[in-house]
């Protein structure tokens, strides 16, 4: 059985591991800390790009394919592990300044379910909401998932399916010989493999340096979140405005996100971030000001210039692939990204056209950002 090594045990690495296992690989995930504790844990779990019409078609293609996979994946996770990742389909209300004619044209072209709402309809759907000025849409099919539960369940499922996890094992580089990747070098020695996939999120670029091809420009972008211990029923659907969003959980918890900060690899949750999110949340839904803040945290998104991840073979080394750079959409796009990566590694024809996700310096072949 061919052996695949995955560097990085976030959502992207763990799902890629499962997909490779399903294609007949013996798979080991090599994780610096504990699996699933970085951006994938920190994320809000909205299973849609924010203002999807603003993203390139390449991102929406991954999101669309993944959205079809999420209900089955969530059910498999719940059934086989007993951990419910709380896949919820309450829909998302989007309030923004975008031209409604352009948004309407995008909605029509993509075949997405979306209904324009007036202010009265918005406040009837979310009692207590103080919507800012702007145009409102209801996207009724948008779901959410509860990240920490998702990751706990996925780790259990992957291990149960035979994926090996090597935690607390930092990767220091890709081992190669004769123009081919032969494994990963780690702080405790070399691990050999037939195929190597870099899924190290915001840290991916450094693992790909010095390998005869300029790595994709993946960089950390900090995001902070607040969790309010609100009463169940206060909020039943996601509300997204310019810059901020609220996400309800089944037990009444409301997440408020998120900051977008260039802070290097510093994942500290700051006083100013807390104040910014608290003020935005309380302005949007004033009863939240009375709810205790239960948690405040930060994570490092794997930022990329166009928001398009790189899902591709390395241009110079055989046996090496990357699946990273999902920026703000790494939860929603994870299932299709993992399936695409595994198809490329296994030499199968992928369901999705891989062209838009090619190694960026392979020059001009990535799709230009589409509408919005």
Ligand X SMILES: Cc1cc2nc3c(=O)[nH]c(=O)nc-3n(C[C@H](O)[C@H](O)[C@H](O)COP(=O)(O)OP(=O)(O)OC[C@H]3O[C@@H](n4cnc5c(N)ncnc54)[C@H](O)[C@@H]3O)c2cc1C
Backbone angles phi, psi at 107, to 5 degrees: -60, -45
Q: Does residue 91 belong to the site contacting ligand X (CB under 6 A)?
A: no
Q: Which of 30, 150, 239, 352 touches ligand X (CB under 6 A)? A: 30
DSSP secondary-structure letter at 24?
T
User: How far apart, in whole angstroms, are the C-alpha atoms of residue 192 and residue 342?
Assistant: 19
Which residues in 140-179 contact ligand X (CB under 6 A)? 170-171
Residue (of 206, 243, 240) closest to 224 by Cα position? 243
Q: Between residues 124 and 275, which has the closer beta carbon with respect to ligand X?
A: 275
Among 326, 339, 356, 359, binds ligand X (CB under 6 A): 326
Residue from 62, 158, 182, 200 binding ligand X (CB under 6 A): 200
Residue 60 CB, nearest distance to ligand X (Å)? Answer: 12
Chain centroid to Cα 51, Å, comes to 15
Please identify, using beta-carbon distances, which residue of 69 and 105 lies nearer to ligand X: 69
- The answer to whether 25 and 1 have CB atoms below 8 angstroms apart is yes
User: What residues between 32 and 51 interact with ligand X by CB under 6 A?
Assistant: 32-33, 37-40, 42-46
CA angle 273, 287, 269 (to 5 degrees): 15
**Angle, alpha carbons 281-287-247 (nearest 5°):** 45
Residue 273 near ligand X by CB under 6 A: no
303 binds ligand X (CB under 6 A): no
Task: Decide: is 223 part of the binding site for ligand X (CB under 6 A).
Answer: yes
Q: List CB contacts of 217: < 8 A, sequence separation 6 or more.
A: 205, 304, 305, 360
From the list 109-117, 174-182, 201-209, 277-285, the region that binds ligand X by CB under 6 A is: 201-209
Closest separation between CB of residue 295 and ligand X, Å? 12
Which residue of 53, 70, 203, 359 would you call a contact of ligand X, by CB under 6 A?
A: 203
Question: 62, 309 in Cβ contact below 8 A?
Answer: yes
Q: Which of 201, 307, 335, 360 binds ligand X (CB under 6 A)?
A: 201
The residue range among 101-109, 135-143, 196-204, 229-237 that interacts with ligand X, by the rule CB under 6 A, is: 196-204
The answer to whether residue 330 forms part of the interface with ligand X (CB under 6 A) is yes
Q: What is the smallest separation between the CB atom of 201 and ligand X, expressed in angstroms?
A: 3
Closest approach of ligand X to the CB of residue 29, in Å: 9
d(CA 41, CA 142): 20
Q: Quick one: 237 or 301, whose CB is closer to ligand X?
A: 301
Give the side-chain half-sphere CA count within 13 A for 158: 31
Cα–Cα distance between 256 and 243 in angstroms, integer?
11
| Closest CB to ligand X among residues 121, 185 | 185
Exposure pattern of 64-87 as b/e (b: 16+ CB <10 Å)? bbbbeebeebbeebbeebebbbbb
Which residues have CB under 8 Å from 282's CB, separation 6+?
288, 289
8 near ligand X, judged by CB under 6 A: yes
Which of 331, 339, 342, 358 binds ligand X (CB under 6 A)? It is: 331
Q: Structure tokens of 94?
A: 């989007």
Does 10 contact ligand X by CB under 6 A? yes
* 100/157 with CB nearer ligand X: 157
Interacting residues with ligand X (CB under 6 A): 7-13, 30-33, 37-40, 42-46, 170-171, 199-203, 207, 223, 225, 257-258, 299, 301-302, 324, 326-332
């Amino acid at each position: 059985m061919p052996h695949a090594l995955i560097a990085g045990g976030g959502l992207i690495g763990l799902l890629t591991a499962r997909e490779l296992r399903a294609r007949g690989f013996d798979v080991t995930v090599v994780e610096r800390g504990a699996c699933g504790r970085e951006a994938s844990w920190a994320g809000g779990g909205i299973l849609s790009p924010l203002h999807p019409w603003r993203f390139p078609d390449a991102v929406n293609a991954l999101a669309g394919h993944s959205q079809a996979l999420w209900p089955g994946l969530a059910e498999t996770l719940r059934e086989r592990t007993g951990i419910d990742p709380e896949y919820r389909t309450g829909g998302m209300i989007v309030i923004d300044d975008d031209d409604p004619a352009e948004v309407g044209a995008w909605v029509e072209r993509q075949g997405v379910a979306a209904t324009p709402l007036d202010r009265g309809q918005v406040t009837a759907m979310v009692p207590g909401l103080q919507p800012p000025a702007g145009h409102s849409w209801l996207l009724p099919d948008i779901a959410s998932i509860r990240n920490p539960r998702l990751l706990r369940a996925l780790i259990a499922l992957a291990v149960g399916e035979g994926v090996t996890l090597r935690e607390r094992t930092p990767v220091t580089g890709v081992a190669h010989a004769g123009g081919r990747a032969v494994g990963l070098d780690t702080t405790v020695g070399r691990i050999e493999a037939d195929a190597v996939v870099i899924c190290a999120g915001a840290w991916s670029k450094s693992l790909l340096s010095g390998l005869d091809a300029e790595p994709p420009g993946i960089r950390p972008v900090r995001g902070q979140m607040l969790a309010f211990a609100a009463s169940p029923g206060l909020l039943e659907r996601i509300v997204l405005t310019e810059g901020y969003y609220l996400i309800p959980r089944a037990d009444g918890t409301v997440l408020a996100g998120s900051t977008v900060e260039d802070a290097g690899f510093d994942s500290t949750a700051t006083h100013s971030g807390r104040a910014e999110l608290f003020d935005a949340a309380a302005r949007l839904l004033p009863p939240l000001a009375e709810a205790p803040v239960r948690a405040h945290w930060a994570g490092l998104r794997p930022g990329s210039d166009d928001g398009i991840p790189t899902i591709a073979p390395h241009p110079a080394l055989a046996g090496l692939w990357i699946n990273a750079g999902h920026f703000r959409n790494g939860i929603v796009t994870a299932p299709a990204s993992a399936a695409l990566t595994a198809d490329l590694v296994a030499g199968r024809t992928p369901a999705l056209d891989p062209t838009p996700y090619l190694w960026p310096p392979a020059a001009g072949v990535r799709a230009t950002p589409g509408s919005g």
